[in-house]
Structure 1
Amino acid sequence: MDATSATQATSATPGKRRPLPPLTKGAHSSRLGNIAVIATFGGLLFGYDTGVINGALDSMESSLALTPATEGIMTSSLLVGAALGAFFIGRISDAIGRKPTIQVLAVIFFFAAVAAVIAPTWEFLTVARIVLGVAVGGASVTVPVFLAEVAPTEKRGGLVTRNELMIVTGQLSAFTINAIIGSVWAGHDNVWRYMLIVAVLPAIALFIGMFRVPESPRWLLARGREAEALTVLKQIRSDDRAIAELDEVRDLADEEAATKQGKLADFFKESWLRKLLFIGIGLGIAQQLTGINSIMYYGTEVLQDSGFSQQAALIANVGSGIIAVVAVVVGLRFINRFGRRTFLIFGFIGTTVFHLLIGLSSVLLPAGTPRAVMVLIFVICFVAVMQGTIGPVVWLMLSEIFPLHLRGAGMGLAVLCLWLTNFAVTLGFPIVVDALSISTTFFIFAALNVAALIFVVTTVPETNGRSLEQLEDDFSTGAIYTIKPRRR
C-alpha cells in the first residue's frame, strides 16, 4: 500500500481522526492564554540567564581575575549544564509530568542564580552556571512540549513560539538591565553581581504561577488518566471540542499502549523514526550554526572590536535585543500563514547574506565609526532575520515532530545536540576571532548557513496545519512528504 492509500485508509477508519469542531472564544480561551504566559516564564529565565553574561564580562574580568581561557570556560559552562538538562529532563518530564518538572526547574533557577551572585571565585561561578544551565536546558525542552500539548492545532504555531518571544524578551531585559546597571555603577568591580541577582524574580514568579496551571491533557491521557485529561481540556476548550480532542488523542494512545514509556532506543527500530531523529538533530544543530549566540553572548565585545567604546557598545547592544523581540512578534503573525519550511528557507538565505555583509564590512571599511556603524546595522539585520524565522520555527518543530510516547526522549536528544553545538560555537568564537580575524569568522558562518539551507531544502518537510496526531500518522506513512495538510 502506498503512502496516500495508507493515509486515506487510516482517515476512513471509524472513530479515527474525525474533523474537530471549530474553535470558539470564551473563558476557556482566556484560561489557555494565562497558562501560556505562566509557563513561558521558563523561556524568560532561559533568555535572561543566557543573555546576562553579555555585558557582565568586563566587570567579571577585574573582580574574578579572569584570563581569556577562564573567561571562555566560565561563559560556556552554562551550555554544558544546558546540554545535560535537555537530555535528561525531557525524559524526566515524560515520567513525572510537565507541570512538576517545570516547578522543579523554577527551584533550580532560583538557587543557582543565588549561588552565582555570591560566587567568591571564577571556579565557584562556573559550577553555579553549570547548575543554572541544567535548568535552562530543561526549560528549553519541557516548556515548548507543554505548550504544544495544551494548544489546539489551529493555534499551536503561535502558542508554542510565544516561548521564543519570552526568550528574546529575557535577553532584551538582560541587555537593558546590564546597560542601566553598568551606567549607574560604572567602574564597580562587583557590578556583575547586581546584574545576575535580577534572575531570581522570574524564578519565583514561575514557581508560584505553576500552581495555577493544569497538567498536559495529552500526558494525562497517555498515563490512563482520562477523566483528568477531559477536565483539563474542558478548562481550555469548549465542551464539544474537548470531547472530540479527547477521542482523537485516545485513538493514538490506544495504538501506543503496548509501547508504554518510550525509550531512545525505540527510534532505531523503524526507518521513519530514525529519519525523524535525524531531522530533529539536524534542526537543532542548524539553528546554532547560524551563530546567533556569538552575538547574544559576545555582542558587546564584537561591537567594541568594530570601533565602539565600552559604554556605547553596551547601549548599542540593547538595539539587538529590541529588534529580536520585534522580529519574533512579527514572525508570530505569519508563521501559520506561510508555513514552517518556508520560514526556514527564507531565514537561512537571510542569515547567509548578512554574515557575508558583516565580514565584508570588516575587510573593506577602514577602522573607525563608519565601520562600527555598518557592522551594527548588519548585526541587527542578522538578528532580525534569525529571531523572526529560524529561532522560533526550530523550537516549534522540535516540539511537534516526535511521537507522543517518544516526545520527551526525542526532543531531549535533539536539544542536547543543539546545546552542544551552542557550546562549541560559544567556546570557539573568541578563539577563532583572535586567530583568524572577525571577518573570516563570519565568512565561516556564511558557509555553515549555506550547508544548513541545503539540509532544510532536501530533508525537512512542512508540518503546518496538522494536529500532533496527524503528524504522527503522516510521518509513519511517508504522507508528510506527499500529501498536503488536511483541513480541519
Structure 2
Amino acid sequence: MAAHQQHPSTPPGGVGTDTRRDDGGGLTGAVVVVALVSAISGLLYGYDTGIISGALLQITDEFGIGTGWEQVIAASILAGAVVGALVCSRLGERRGRRGTLLVVAVVFVVGALAASLAPDPVTLSLSRLVLGFAVGGATQTAPVYVAELAPTRYRGRLVLCFQIAIGVGIVIATLIGASRSIDWRVAVGAASVPAALMLALMLRLPESPRWLVGAGQVERARESLARVRPSGTDVSGELDDIGTLVRAESEASTRGWRGLREAWVRPALVVGCGLAVFTQLSGIEMIVYYSPTILTDNGFSDSAALRVSVALGLTYLITQLIGLAVIDRVGRRRLTLLTLPGAALSLIVLGTFFVTGNDGQEQVPYIVATLIAFMAFTAGGIQLMGWLTGSEIYPLATRAAGAAAQSASLWSTNLLITLTLLSTIETIGTGQTFWLYALFNIAGFVFLYRRMPELTGRSLEQIEGQLAQGRFRPADFARAR
C-alpha cells in the first residue's frame, strides 16, 4: 500500500498546489521497463503469499507438523512484511526508490532460495520471514517508483500494473499448487527467477527524479527524466514542477510521522488504517492461505481442494479487474458498501453448511459456489480500497508516512489472522469461524458507512481542504458537492 504521491495538495497555511503539467511524453522503452519491474514485484507478492496455500499440504506431510507450525509457516511472511513496509518507507526516503528496490529484489532472491532449501520448519519460517521483508518493501516502494517516473497521462494505468500483477501471481500459485506434480521446494524456489529478472532490470533504470530533486541532485534528476522521456523532449518544465512540489512538501507545517498525530490529520488516519484492518478481517486471507487445508480437514480430497483454490484465484483476478474498471463510475465508498453485505451473507451461508452438517459430497457444488461468491464480493470491493486510499486520503507532507502506517496496519492484521485461524477453527469449529468473519464484515460495513467519505471525483486538494476544515464525515462530503 504505497504512497503513489501523484498529486500533492495544499496544507493549511496555503503551501503549494499541484501545478504539474502534462509532460506530453509518450511511452518509452524505459517507462515500460519501469512498469514491468513494478509488475514483477506485484507478481512476487501474489505468488509468494499464495504458493503456501497448496504447498502446506506437502510441507505438513514432509515435516510431520501440526496446526501450530502450519500457522507459523504461513504467517512468517506477513511478520516480515510489516517490518519491510515500515523499514522500506524510511529507506526509500533516505536512499532513494531505486536503491530500495534493488535491496528488495536481492532479498526476494535470497528468501525464495533459502525457503526452497529449508531442512526443517524453523528454517522455512525464518526464510519466509526474510521473504516477507521483500514483500512489504515492494508494496511500499514499487508503486511510488512508477508514479514518479511515468508520464502524467499514463501514470494511473502503469501504477495499476502492480495491483493486477498481484492477482496474476495468486493465480499462478494456485495453478502450480493444484497440479500436485511439482514439489513444494521447486514451487517456492521458482520465485527466485522473476526476482533475479527484477534485479537485472533495476540495474538498468534511473533513480526517481522526484527523490533526486529532494536530495538536491537537480542535474541527476534532469538526466533521469531525459532517460524515460522520448528523445529530444525538453524536460525543463517538468523538472521545474517537481521542484515546486518538493519545496511545498518541505515547507509544510505538518510533516511525516509526527504530522500524523496532528488533530486535523487524525480522521484520515482512522479511516485509512481502519479500512486496512477490515480488508483483512473480511476473511479473504483466510480463504487464500488456508482454503485447501480447511476443505481437506472437512472431508474434501486434496485434488478437489486444490481445484477450488484455482477457481478462487481466478475469481480474485477477474473481479479485481472488473472492480478497477467500474470504481471511478460507481464510487469508492458506494462500491465498498454494496459488496460488504454480499461478503457477509456468503460467509453466513458457508458457515451454516458446516454447522448443520450439510458439508457432504452432495453439498460440494453449493459450498464451492458460496466460496466463489464470497471471493467475488470481497476481491472486487473492499480489497481494492485498501490499496487505493493510501495514495489519496492523507495530506501531501504526511502521505508517505500515512501510507506506511496503513500498510503496517494491513500486514499486522493479516499476521494476527494467519497465526490464529486454524487454532480458532479447532476451538470453535469451521462453521462458527465463518460466522465470526461474517460479523467482522458487518462491523466493517458499519465503520465505513459512518466514517469513510466518498473520495471519488475529489481532487487531493479538495480532500485535504475538507480535512483542514474538520469536515471529513461522509455527510460533509455530500454537502460539499
TM-score range, shorter chain: 0.7 to 0.9
Query: Does residue 128 of structure 1 match 2:121?
Result: no
Q: Post-superposition shift, 1:175?
A: 1.0
Aligned counterparts of 2:455 and 2:157: Cα–Cα separation in 1: 14
Aligned counterparts of 1:166 and 1:9: Cα–Cα separation in 2: 33
Aligned counterparts of 1:102 and 1:475: Cα–Cα separation in 2: 33
Residue aligning to 1:289: 281
Deviation per residue, 1:128-150 (Å, 9 max, x gap): 11111111111122223334444
Residue aligning to 1:5: none
The within-5 A match list for 1:236-275 is 249-258=242-251, 262-268=255-261, 270-275=262-267
CA 1:413/1:341 → structure 2, altered by over 3 Å: closer, same or farther? same
Aligned counterparts of 1:314 and 1:308: Cα–Cα separation in 2: 10
Q: Post-superposition shift, 1:363?
A: 3.2
Deviation per residue, 1:136-182 (Å, 9 max, x gap): 111122223334444567765544333221112111111111222x1
Residue aligning to 2:187: 195
Residue aligning to 2:352: 360
CA 1:262/1:14 → structure 2, altered by over 3 Å: closer, same or farther? closer
Contact 2:25–2:151 (Cα < 8 Å) also in 1: no
CA 1:480/1:213 → structure 2, altered by over 3 Å: closer, same or farther? farther
Aligned counterparts of 1:99 and 1:53: Cα–Cα separation in 2: 29
Contact 2:108–2:134 (Cα < 8 Å) also in 1: yes
Deviates more, 1:363-372 or 1:36-45: 363-372
CA 1:441/1:395 → structure 2, altered by over 3 Å: closer, same or farther? same
The within-5 A match list for 1:322-337 is 322-337=314-329
Aligned counterparts of 1:316 and 1:257: Cα–Cα separation in 2: 51
Contact 1:103–1:210 (Cα < 8 Å) also in 2: yes
Query: Does residue 457 of structure 1 match 2:449?
Result: yes
Matched residue of 1:40: which SS?
A: helix
Aligned counterparts of 1:320 and 1:42: Cα–Cα separation in 2: 22
Residue aligning to 1:426: 418
Residue aligning to 1:4: none
Residue aligning to 1:170: 169
Deviation per residue, 1:369-428 (Å, 9 max, x gap): 232221211111211222222223211211333344433322222211211110111111
* Structure 1 residue corresponding to 2:381, chosen from 366, 376, 389: 389
Matched residue of 2:264: which SS?
A: helix
Aligned counterparts of 1:434 and 1:456: Cα–Cα separation in 2: 31
Q: Post-superposition shift, 1:472?
A: 4.5
Matched residue of 1:356: which SS?
A: helix
Deviation per residue, 1:59-105 (Å, 9 max, x gap): 11222221222222222111111111112211111111212111110
Deviation per residue, 1:253-305 (Å, 9 max, x gap): 3233246995422321x222222222221121111101111111101122224
Query: Does residue 209 of structure 1 match 2:201?
Result: yes
Q: Post-superposition shift, 1:314?
A: 1.3
Residue aligning to 1:440: 432
The within-5 A match list for 1:302-313 is 302-313=294-305
Q: Post-superposition shift, 1:197?
A: 1.2
Q: Post-superposition shift, 1:313?
A: 1.1
Contact 1:40–1:163 (Cα < 8 Å) also in 2: yes
- Give, as a single letter, the amino acid of the residue that structure 1 aligns with 2:174: F
Structure 2: 5+ residue stretches without partners: 1-8
CA 1:27/1:205 → structure 2, altered by over 3 Å: closer, same or farther? same
Deviates more, 1:321-330 or 1:225-234: 225-234
Structure 1: 5+ residue stretches without partners: 1-7, 186-190
Q: Post-superposition shift, 1:483?
A: 6.1
Contact 2:16–2:245 (Cα < 8 Å) also in 1: no
Q: Post-superposition shift, 1:430?
A: 0.8
- Give, as a single letter, the amino acid of the residue that structure 2 aligns with 1:200: S
Residue aligning to 2:39: 40
Aligned counterparts of 2:138 and 2:297: Cα–Cα separation in 1: 33
CA 1:338/1:149 → structure 2, altered by over 3 Å: closer, same or farther? farther
Q: Post-superposition shift, 1:109?
A: 0.7
Q: Post-superposition shift, 1:16?
A: 4.8
- Give, as a single letter, the amino acid of the residue that structure 1 aligns with 2:259: D
CA 1:473/1:146 → structure 2, altered by over 3 Å: closer, same or farther? farther
- Give, as a single letter, the amino acid of the residue that structure 2 aligns with 1:121: D
Between the aligned residues of both structures, percent identity stands at 34
Matched residue of 2:144: which SS?
A: helix
Contact 1:82–1:133 (Cα < 8 Å) also in 2: yes
Q: Give the TM-score normalised by structure 2.
A: 0.86
- Give, as a single letter, the amino acid of the residue that structure 1 aligns with 2:212: L
Q: Post-superposition shift, 1:122?
A: 1.0
Contact 2:20–2:241 (Cα < 8 Å) also in 1: no
Contact 2:15–2:252 (Cα < 8 Å) also in 1: no
Aligned counterparts of 1:134 and 1:116: Cα–Cα separation in 2: 14
Query: Does residue 417 of structure 1 match 2:446?
Result: no
Query: Does residue 108 of structure 1 match 2:79?
Result: no
Aligned counterparts of 1:164 and 1:460: Cα–Cα separation in 2: 22
CA 1:225/1:463 → structure 2, altered by over 3 Å: closer, same or farther? farther
Residue aligning to 1:379: 371
- Give, as a single letter, the amino acid of the residue that structure 1 aligns with 2:275: L
Residue aligning to 1:408: 400
Q: Give the TM-score normalised by structure 1.
A: 0.85
Corresponding pairs, count: 469
Q: Which has the higher helix share?
A: 1
- Give, as a single letter, the amino acid of the residue that structure 1 aligns with 2:92: S
Contact 1:340–1:464 (Cα < 8 Å) also in 2: yes
Aligned counterparts of 2:150 and 2:41: Cα–Cα separation in 1: 17
Aligned counterparts of 1:479 and 1:345: Cα–Cα separation in 2: 21
Residue aligning to 2:342: 350
Q: Post-superposition shift, 1:216?
A: 3.2
Contact 1:158–1:333 (Cα < 8 Å) also in 2: no
CA RMSD of aligned residues (A): 3.4
